[in-house]
Structure 1
Amino acid sequence: MFSLFRKPKANIGKAPKAAEIAASAPEPGKELGQRVQWFEERLDNCVDAVFRTFTGAGGQQYALVFLGGIADLELLQEDLINPLTREDSRDKGATGPEADFSRLLITSCNVSGDYEEVMQYVLEGAVLLIIDGEDRMICYPYARFEKRSIGEAQNEVVIRGSREAFVEEVRTNVTMLRRRIKSPGLKVQSTYIGRHTRTEVLVIHLEGICRPELVEEVHHRLSKIEIDGVLESSYLEEFIEDHPYSPFPQIQNTERPDTAAAALLEGRIVILTDGTPIALIAPVTFPVFFQSPEDYYQRSYASTWIRWIRLLFMFVSLLAPSFYIALTTYHPEMIPASLLFSVAAAREPVPFPALFEAFIMEIVFEGLREASIRIPSAIGQAVSILGTLVIGEAAVRAGIVSSPMVIIVSLTGISSFIVPSYSLGLTLRLIRFPIMLLSGSFGLLGLSIGIYLVLLHLVVLSSFGVPYLAPIAPLKWKDIKDTLTRAPWRLMKTRPSVYGMEPTRRLKTILHNDGDDRD
C-alpha cells in the first residue's frame, strides 16, 4: 500500500495570477502530467493539498487531487484506490479509459470537464480522480468535516416543546425541517454567496402557501450581494432587509427548527446559512418578537397572560428611567407627597442631576451585562450578580447615585430580558438613551415626543413589503387573535393574511365534544 501524501513542489518565483492560470488550462487530450500540473499551480503553497499519480491493475494511469485535512482517507482507500489497483476487480471484457470511466461512476459523484468547476469541488472537500486519456474528471464526495451534534437551544429556552436546535451543518438543518414538514411542497433552493468563502445559502418555502413574488424578491436581494465572504447569517440580514439603517430588526432569527417550521406553515421564508446555527425568517412583523414558541405549547389563557406581561415590561424597559427623570426633574407635583419626601431624602446627598445619574447607572449596568457574557460561564453569573450588588451599594453609600435610581435601573435591566427576542431587547436598550435625553431636557413633553417618534418610525417600517405593525396598523381583525392574545387553536382557522396567498384557511373541521364535525 502506498502513501497518499506527497509534498507539493515549492514555487519560489512569482505566483501566477488566477486569470493567467485559468486561461492556461490544459486542452482536452493533454497528458496526465500536464493536467495535474495545472492543479499544482492553482494550489501552490497549500501544504494540505495532495497530488498522487499511480497506475491501476490494467496499466491505466490515474491521478488524485484532494485536500488532506478534509478528505476521508479510509473511505478513499477502500472505495476507490483498492478497486483500481486490484486485478480481480477489473472487468476482463472491457478495456480503455472509457470503460474505466463508466465503472467508476457512482450516484453522488460529479462529472465535469471544466477545470474551474472541478477546482471548486476540490476546495469543498471532494476527491478528484483524473483518468489518463479521458477528458472528463470525476469528483467524489469523500469530505469528512468535524461537526457539532444536535443539542438543546441555548437562547430560546422553553419548558414544554422540542429541545432540538439548529447546528452549523446546513444539510442537517434541512433534515430537521423535513422531519417536521413531510410535504413535497417544501422547496429548498441553493445559492452560493461570497467570492472567497463560497458559503452555501438555502432559501426554503412551502409552495402553495408562500407567495411566489416573495420568493422571487428574496432571491433577487440575495443575488445582488457581492462580498468577499459570509461567515454568519447576520451578513445576509444587513443586506436584504428593507431599512438597513433602522435600529429595529426587520428579519426574525431563530435557532429552533420548530419555530422555523411554524413560520413556513404561515407562508414565510426560512434562510439557512452554512456554518451558523441561526436561521433567518422573513418577512416579520413587530408583534412576532413578543411571541415565544412555548406560547403555542400551552393553554391559550396562560399564553395570553404571559404576552401581556411581556408587553408591560417592554414599556418598563423602554420608558421607566425616562419617566422617573421627567417626574423628579420637571413634575414633582405629580408624585404623591409621602413618596416625594422619600425620593427627595434619598437624592439629597447626590450631587448630580437625575439625567446624569441615570446615564451613569445605565452604562455601568450595560458594562456588567456585557462582562457577564464574556467571562467564562463558571464564574460569569457570580461575577455579574456580585458586581451589581457591590457597585450599587457602594455608589449609594458614597452619595454618587440615589437608591431609587438603583431600583429603577435594576428593574429596567431585568425587564429587557423578558422580551423573547434578543435583537429587539438590544434595540430597546439602545433607543432608551435618546428618550432619556429628551425627558431630561423637556420633561413629560420630551417623553411624549420620544414615544411619538418611535411610533412614527415603526409605522414607516416594512419587512419585504409587509407593514411592520401589521395586523394592528393596518388593522386586520382576523389576524388580531394571534398578536396581543393567543386564541385557542380551534378559533385560529386561517393563516396570517399579511404573509401568505389566498386561500389562507388552515383549519377545515373541528371535532367538538358532541362528535359533530363543523367548520
Structure 2
Amino acid sequence: MGKYRLISQRRRTEQQKDRSPKGNNHKESSYQLTGSLLETLSYLEKIMGKSSDIVFRKLRNSGSNENNGDIAVCFVDGLVDKPLLTKLIHDLETNYLLPVADRSEGEVSDKISAGSVQNATTGEELIAGIFNGSAAIVLDGIKGALVVSIPGGQQRSVEEPSTQTLIRGPKEGFTEQISTNISLIRRKIRSPHLRFENRVIGTFTKTKVAVAFIDGIANTVVVEEVLRRLDAIHIDGILESSYIEEFIQDESFTPFPTVMNTERPDAAAGGLLEGQVVILVDGSPFVLMCPVTFFKFFLSSEDYYQRYDIASFLRNIRLFSFLVAMLLPSIYIAVTTFHPEMLPTTLLISLAAQREGTPLPALFEALLMEITFEVIREAGVRMPRVVGPAISIVGALVLGQAAVQAGLVSAAMVIIVSFTAIANFVIPTFNMSSAVRLIRFGLMLLAGSFGIYGILVGSIPILVHLVSLTSFGIPYFLPVAPLSPNNMRDVFIRLPWPKMKKRPSYINIENQIRQASVPEKGKTKK
C-alpha cells in the first residue's frame, strides 16, 4: 500500500507541475511570432482551444496564396465592441489589404482609427490582448501582430452605492470595470500628480490591479511596500478585492480589519488627498485603502459634507454604538447573574419579576436570542430582495413576541438584543461591524462565567491586541496610542475646515500642508 501511495503522490506532483501556472506562462512567453500566418493561428488554436466564443476571421487578398489568409482577426465574442469591430474589419477589407511585399506593420497601424493600437511580438502579449477585450490582427509575412483595443460587452452603469448611502453627497459609486473606476477618481482629482501603477495578478484570471496614489503627498515607503506585497502574490485567480486584502494585510489572524474598502469614489479621493494608497481591482466595485487606523472605520464621507458640530456629534454616536454593540449583552448578563446589587431596587424587582418564569439562565437566554437574530439577518440577505427585508423584520417581531409570551426569554432580554443589533448597524463599515459581532459572543461567555471580572479579562487583551496591530507599518490605534495631540483634529471631533490646515502626519510625512494660509476675516489687505 505504501508503494502505491508513493506512486499516486508522484503522479499528482507531476500533474501539478504540468498544470502549474509557471509552465503555462512559460509556453506562452517562449513563442515568438515568426510572421507565418498559419503558424500563428495554429499556435492560438492550440493554446486557447476550440472554444465557441473565440472567433478567427480570415481576410483574403487576391494577391495572396489561396491556402494562406493574408490577414486574420482574432477576438473573443462578448468582450469587444461590435460596432467598432465591424468598422475595423470593413476598413481592413476595403482599404488596407495591400500585397505583402508593399505592406508594413506600421503602415497598417497608422491607418487604424478604432481604439489604441499596440504591437505584440510574443504569444503571451497576443493572448493577453485578446482576453482583455482587444482584436488581434495577424499579418502574413510580418513578424509580430497588432492588438487593437476595442473593449465592449455588457457593463453595469454608474449607480448609487448600495452599502454606503448618504443623505448629502455624491450619488455615484464604483462599478466592476476598472477603467470606469479610474475615470471616476480622475474626475475627482484633476491633477497630473495622480499616478496609477498597473499590475496583472492571477495565473488564469489575469486580473488587472491598479495602485493609485498622489505623487508628492503619498508616503513613498508605503507605496513601495504596497507594490512589493502585490508582486509577491502568486495565485490562480483574483475574483474580488477581498482576495488582495487578505494577501497584503499586516496581520491575518485578527478580527479587526487593517485595510479599508469603500464603494464611493469621493471617499477614495479623500483618502488619496490625505496620503493613502488606493488599490483598484478589475471586477470588484470595492476599492481598498491603506494604511488605515482604527478610528478611520468610524468616519463617514458625510462627516465632511455637513457642519462640523453635527458631524462630530454623529461620530461620537458611532463610537458609543461600537461599545454598546460589543459590551451591552455581556454587561446585562454579568449584572443580572453575579452583581444584582449594582442595580437600583425598583429596576431589580422589575427584572426579577420578568425572569421569574423563564427556564434558562441569562447567558443561554442571550445566546439563544443572538443566534436567532443572526439567523434572521442572514436569511434576509440570502432571500429574494423583494421579500427579504419583510421576512427579516416580521420574523424578528413575531419570534421575539412569541418567545416572551411562551416564557422562554424575558422582555428585557429582547430589548437588550434588539438595541445591540441596532447599534451594530450604526457602524459605517461592514467589516468592522462583523468583527464586533464575533467578539460579542466571546465576551458573553466570559460574562456568564465570571461576571464583570470576565468582561475585564476579555476586554484587556482586545485593547492590547488593538494597540499592537499595524497597517503597513502605521500603528493601528493612532493617534491615541501612541498619543499624538497634533493629529486629534479629525478623530473624536471634526474641526471646521479652515482649522484643518495639515494632513495627518502619521499617514503622510512628506507633504503635510493641506491648505495655504489665508488672511483672517476683517484683516483683508487693501
Taking structure 1 as the reference length, the TM-score comes to 0.91
Q: Deviations over 1:256-281 (max 9, x none)?
A: 01111110111110000001110100
Residues paired across the two proteins, number: 499
Conserved in 1, the CA contact under 8 Å of 2:59 and 2:71? yes
The equivalent position to 1:123 in structure 2, one of 110, 128, 131, is 131
The residue number in structure 2 matching 1:4 is none
Cα distance change, pair 98–395 in 1 and its aligned pair in 2 (3 A): closer
The residue number in structure 1 matching 2:102 is 95
Conserved in 2, the CA contact under 8 Å of 1:126 and 1:141? yes
Please show how residues 62-101 of structure 1 align to structure 2 within 5 Å.
62-79=71-88, 81-86=89-94, 95-97=102-104, 100-101=107-108
Identity %: 43
Letter in 2 for 1:56: N
The equivalent position to 1:514 in structure 2, one of 493, 510, 522, is 522
Conserved in 2, the CA contact under 8 Å of 1:461 and 1:467? yes
d(CA) in 1 for partners of 2:476, 2:163: 24
Please show how residues 287-366 of structure 1 align to structure 2 within 5 Å.
287-366=295-374
Q: Deviations over 1:314-333 (max 9, x none)?
A: 11111110000000110111
Conserved in 2, the CA contact under 8 Å of 1:273 and 1:279? yes
1:140 aligns with 2:148: yes
1:39 aligns with 2:48: no
Please show how residues 19-418 of structure 1 align to structure 2 within 5 Å.
22=28, 25=31, 28-30=34-36, 32-56=37-61, 59=64, 61-79=70-88, 81-86=89-94, 95-97=102-104, 100-101=107-108, 103-104=110-111, 108-418=116-426
CA-CA distance at 1:21 after TM superposition: 6.2
Conserved in 1, the CA contact under 8 Å of 2:29 and 2:122? no
CA-CA distance at 1:55 after TM superposition: 1.6
Letter in 1 for 2:416: I
Conserved in 1, the CA contact under 8 Å of 2:32 and 2:121? no
Conserved in 2, the CA contact under 8 Å of 1:56 and 1:84? no
CA-CA distance at 1:398 after TM superposition: 1.1
Cα distance change, pair 475–20 in 1 and its aligned pair in 2 (3 A): closer
CA-CA distance at 1:103 after TM superposition: 4.4
Conserved in 1, the CA contact under 8 Å of 2:201 and 2:209? yes
CA-CA distance at 1:375 after TM superposition: 1.8
d(CA) in 2 for partners of 1:383, 1:129: 55
Conserved in 1, the CA contact under 8 Å of 2:30 and 2:122? no
CA-CA distance at 1:300 after TM superposition: 0.8
Q: Tell me the SS of whatever aligns to 2:352.
A: helix
Conserved in 1, the CA contact under 8 Å of 2:204 and 2:236? yes
Q: Deviations over 1:201-253 (max 9, x none)?
A: 00001111111111000001111111110010000101100111100010111
The residue number in structure 1 matching 2:14 is none
Instruction: In structure 2, list runs of 5 or more residues that go unmatched.
Output: 1-18
d(CA) in 1 for partners of 2:109, 2:330: 75
Q: Deviations over 1:397-427 (max 9, x none)?
A: 1111111111100010000001111111111
CA-CA distance at 1:502 after TM superposition: 3.4
Q: Deviations over 1:432-484 (max 9, x none)?
A: 01111111111111111111111111011111111111001111111111101
Aligned Cα root-mean-square deviation (Å): 2.3
Conserved in 2, the CA contact under 8 Å of 1:26 and 1:34? no
d(CA) in 2 for partners of 1:366, 1:414: 12
Q: Tell me the SS of whatever aligns to 1:50.
A: strand
Q: Deviations over 1:122-160 (max 9, x none)?
A: 122211111111112111112312111111111111111
Name the stretch that deviates more: 371-380 or 194-203.
371-380
Conserved in 1, the CA contact under 8 Å of 2:278 and 2:290? yes
Name the stretch that deviates more: 43-52 or 289-298.
43-52
d(CA) in 2 for partners of 1:151, 1:23: 40
Letter in 2 for 1:50: V
Q: Tell me the SS of whatever aligns to 2:387.
A: helix
Q: Tell me the SS of whatever aligns to 1:510.
A: coil
The equivalent position to 2:428 in structure 1, one of 414, 420, 424, is 420
d(CA) in 1 for partners of 2:262, 2:25: 41
Q: Tell me the SS of whatever aligns to 1:360.
A: helix
Q: Deviations over 1:334-388 (max 9, x none)?
A: 1111111110110011111110110000000111111111222222222111111
Q: Tell me the SS of whatever aligns to 1:109.
A: strand
Conserved in 2, the CA contact under 8 Å of 1:199 and 1:274? yes
Cα distance change, pair 304–25 in 1 and its aligned pair in 2 (3 A): closer
Name the stretch that deviates more: 386-395 or 41-50.
41-50
The equivalent position to 2:442 in structure 1, one of 427, 434, 437, is 434
Letter in 1 for 2:44: F
Cα distance change, pair 262–29 in 1 and its aligned pair in 2 (3 A): closer
Q: Tell me the SS of whatever aligns to 2:271.
A: helix
Conserved in 2, the CA contact under 8 Å of 1:150 and 1:165? yes
CA-CA distance at 1:72 after TM superposition: 2.9
Cα distance change, pair 299–69 in 1 and its aligned pair in 2 (3 A): closer
Letter in 2 for 1:400: L
d(CA) in 2 for partners of 1:118, 1:375: 43
Letter in 1 for 2:155: K
Letter in 2 for 1:242: D
Name the stretch that deviates more: 183-192 or 40-49.
40-49
CA-CA distance at 1:45 after TM superposition: 3.1
Letter in 2 for 1:55: R
Taking structure 2 as the reference length, the TM-score comes to 0.90
Conserved in 1, the CA contact under 8 Å of 2:219 and 2:510? no
Conserved in 2, the CA contact under 8 Å of 1:322 and 1:439? yes
Cα distance change, pair 23–212 in 1 and its aligned pair in 2 (3 A): closer
Cα distance change, pair 470–18 in 1 and its aligned pair in 2 (3 A): closer
